[in-house]
A and B are shown apart, each in its own frame.
Chain A
């Protein structure tokens, strides 16, 4: 078995009386798309927050590429190769679409104590940005202000920004949130193409997408992983069906 790229060991986090993560362990192998599912309140968002460094775990460790990153600050994790997209669109709305992605590129292009040259004329920043936009299908929207994009295009831009830093692993927090059927299909296609070059941890509610893309699935309930394995095994798991898939099947039926 290949060594895990991301290793989460016994992660625990409480907020007052609420247990968000309960001795949670999981691992993500290089090249796989590992989906994390679970009912609302299962602690998926807290998991992502701890992986990105926004929340410090009460106990447990996080290893990325063999290195202990549990205490590494937020801005440093991106440099290590771990990038994320946000569940609630978090962009630079008053800048152009291309500026948004170029900033993500710039973050990995050394320090920014450069005060003179026009950043918009630097090819090392603009070209990779355009390339990332092409990959997600937003190439022709590059010069527009980010605020005029549709919600679906915002989600694509989110993805482009996560990619621009040339990460080794992507943490995707509900990329399908709020997308209609056509946009969802497009996003699934994009993610399937990305699978070939990146390792992905995907937190999602959209069961169709999850079962279409995932190599492995971990099911979270009340902060604990109750099952983890191949999609077929998860589907057949009685505990999982009881806790979660019962909801999801009717959701799946609605998506059609």
Chain B
């Protein structure tokens, strides 16, 4: 397999190296905040990658993907609340319930297309949200605190932030590798062909429904895993995790990074979450000498650029950051 040295590939390699070496940096500087931030980034990148599988490669515009984050998280939270603290039960349950939910939603929704598909996936996610809000035993609207992280009989200690970080990173890299293999396999060709021209796929003889449903379930399960990780990371789950706008946030990450590219979701998640953390500080830093107090207040409302950013990306830079980097490589080659 040849990897050419272009702007995009270099960016990805540097990013991966940074992710792997991060704990070293944290150990040296003691900056625990970065560890927390990047654990979150890695987990959300896994969720975004799973969405990219069905959205970017499969062309299935699911607007209810955040539901799986919630389902995975609640599986861990609810079992922990009931005294079942072992990850060996919690995590398989999280995966199983996510898979089941994806199977039901997919089986019903994949019979429709376009906006109806979007609405159905959204409706099911909202149903999951309302179910979560209605669980009075598990906190209802207020959410559920998880007092002890998933136990793995001493094999790994999730309360050790570095061990937990590497576990999440391992799952992310494993997930991306799995997606890579999937996409290029016969199964993946059917999925991609279906995105490109479903009518043609059926005409040449593929019963596309069953393949798309399988893909949908795989993606939901992967996101359920991310949910279990997220619950352990925040030690908390709440219905807000399932609200439909969270699915929009996931889509934002995928689009920003580059839909339909392998590392796009990772790039997009890093970009967005780093922006979230860095931009307010940067505004304050740069703006204070000039504008004083106003800069501080402006920093508070920085999120106002997010909306237009998404709008601009969709209108002008549809391929996301990955696409832009590829264009840069092409220009460099020609120039």
Contacts and interface: CB of A to CB of B under 8 A. Distances in A.
B296 to A, nearest CB: 47
A93 interface: yes
A117 B189 CA distance: 11
Contact of B204 (A95, A104, A120): A104
Contact of A112 (B184, B187, B203): B187
Contacts of A90: 197, 199-200, 203
Contacts, number: 91
Contacts of A120: 184
A91 B200 CA distance: 7
A91 B197 contact: yes
A102 to B, nearest CB: 8
Contact of B186 (A78, A79, A104, A119): A119
Contact of B207 (A75, A92, A104, A117): A75
Interface residues on B, range: 20 to 34
B181 A92 contact: no
B205 A118 contact: no
B320 interface: no
Give the size category of A's interface with B.
Answer: 35 or more
B164 to A, nearest CB: 29
Nearest to B209: A75
Interface string B180-200: 011011111110110011011
Given A78-B204, A112-B206, A165-B205, A95 B185 contact: no
Contact of B205 (A102, A108, A113): A108
A112 B205 contact: no
Contacts of A92: 192-193, 196-197, 200
A234 interface: no
B201 interface: yes
B200 A114 contact: no
Contacts of A115: 181-182, 185, 187-188
Contacts of B203: 52, 74-75, 78, 84, 86, 90
B202 interface: yes
B208 interface: yes
B166 interface: no
Contacts of A83: 204
A75 B205 contact: yes
A107 interface: yes
Contacts of B204: 78, 83, 103-104, 107, 161, 164-165
Nearest to B214: A113
B199 A94 contact: no
B106 to A, nearest CB: 16
A79 B205 contact: yes
Contacts of A156: none
B180 to A, nearest CB: 10
Contacts of B181: 115-116
Contacts of A199: none
Nearest to A104: B204
A103 B208 contact: no
Nearest to B178: A115
10 contacts: A73-B207, A74-B202, A76-B205, A76-B207, A77-B205, A95-B192, A106-B186, A108-B205, A115-B181, A119-B185
Given A86-B200, A113-B211, 8 more contacts: A75-B203, A92-B196, A92-B197, A92-B200, A94-B196, A112-B189, A119-B186, A119-B188
Interface of B: 181-182, 184-190, 192-193, 196-197, 199-208, 211, 214
